[in-house]
């Protein structure tokens, strides 16, 4: 017997390999040795033997009622940190674009003064907003716009940006 729990009166004992018959998980039937462990609740059935649950099946049960394993938690925390970094980068890019636009618009036009006084959301305000349930549409660029030649005096550069 190779119990991982050393308390003599423990209600739950964890084994690396199920020591008693039938020697397998009651849910999936696996009884070999790999990275999973076997949980023994001290429950023995007549004509069956000791009821074991492997850690893989117990993880499924725990997930079903809203719990996560330590490995799942670490993966989610790592993914959350990556997303946080991406958000920070996007906000920095947005701030740079806003600054560039304001500088361009402040080139002496009345519109530039209005843009300077406009209230744009700050990074701290964005973190307080509730998350949108629907993702924002991604801009698409179409080259179907009219081609402008070198002597064309219009300000259209031949690119259409669409948000949907």
Measured CA to CA, the distance from residue 38 to residue 31 in angstroms comes to 9
Please give the average per-residue pLDDT across 33-50, as a whole number: 89
pLDDT attached to residue 56: 92
Query: Residue 147's pLDDT band (boundaries 50, 70, 90)?
Result: very low
Tally of CB atoms within 10 A around 133: 5
Please give the average per-residue pLDDT across 22-36, as a whole number: 89
Lowest mean pLDDT among 45-49, 127-131, 160-164: 160-164
pLDDT attached to residue 21: 87
Number of H helices, E strands in the chain: 4, 5
Say what the alpha-carbon torsion angle 14, 36, 50, 66 is, to the nearest 10 degrees.
80
Q: At what angle do helices 110-117 and 70-105 cross, to 10 degrees?
A: 150
Tell me the C-alpha to C-alpha distance, in Å, between residue 57 and each of 32, 53, 64, 113: 14, 7, 11, 64
pLDDT attached to residue 100: 87
pLDDT attached to residue 53: 93
Please give the average per-residue pLDDT across 148-153, as a whole number: 48
Q: pLDDT tens digits for 50-88?
A: 999 999 999 999 999 999 888 899 999 999 999 999 999
Q: What value does the mean pLDDT of the chain take? A: 76
Beta strands in the chain (DSSP E): 13-15, 38-45, 49-54, 140-142, 160-162
- 114 against 4, higher pLDDT: 4
Its pTM stands at: 0.47
Is the pLDDT score of 159 beyond 80? no
CA atoms within 13 A on the CB side of 149: 2
The two structure tokens encoding residue 134: 């629907």
Please give the average per-residue pLDDT across 117-123, as a whole number: 59
């Amino acid at each position: 017997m190779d119990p991982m729990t050393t308390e003599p009166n423990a209600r739950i004992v964890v084994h690396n390999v199920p020591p008693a018959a039938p020697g397998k998980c009651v849910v999936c039937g696996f009884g070999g040795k790999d990275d999973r462990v076997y949980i023994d609740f001290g429950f023995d059935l007549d004509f069956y033997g000791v009821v074991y649950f492997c850690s893989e099946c117990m993880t499924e049960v725990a997930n079903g009622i809203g719990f996560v394993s330590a490995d799942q938690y670490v993966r989610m925390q790592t993914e959350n940190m990556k997303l946080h970094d991406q958000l920070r980068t996007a906000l920095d890019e947005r701030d740079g674009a806003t600054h560039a636009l304001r500088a361009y618009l402040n080139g002496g036009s009345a519109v530039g003064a209005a843009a300077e006084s406009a209230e744009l959301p700050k990074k701290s305000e964005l973190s307080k907003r509730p998350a949108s349930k629907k993702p924002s549409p991604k801009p698409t660029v179409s080259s179907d716009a009219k081609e402008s030649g070198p002597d064309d005096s219009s300000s259209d550069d031949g690119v259409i940006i669409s948000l949907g």
